[in-house]
Amino acid sequence: MELITMFVPPELKLFSILATIFFTLWIGFALFGAIAPYTLWKITQSWKATKEPPKSYFMMQRIIAILFATVGISFWVFLWTRY
């Protein structure tokens, strides 16, 4: 494995580092939205609202966050199995 990483161009190493940071943030934010949708709403949207949204809003937010986390994990796995 050490020989393979020795011959990787520096541009590819930089891309791998940036992609890892991007997908870590993406997946982390999506998982936070899936685990605590109310807290995410309080942080991002509550300042605009005059009243709290219904429970169905938080359920949809949780489902969408799970989909985003799944997509992020899929892209990340695709990226790491490709190189």
pTM: 0.77
pLDDT of residue 61: 95
Measured CA to CA, the distance from residue 36 to residue 78 in angstroms comes to 27
Q: Positive or negative CA dihedral for 27, 28, 31, 36? A: negative
Supply the pLDDT for residue 17. 85
Position 39 scores a pLDDT of: 95
Q: How many whole angstroms separate alpha carbon 30 and alpha carbon 58?
A: 14
- Which residues of the chain fall short of a pLDDT of 70? 1-10, 83
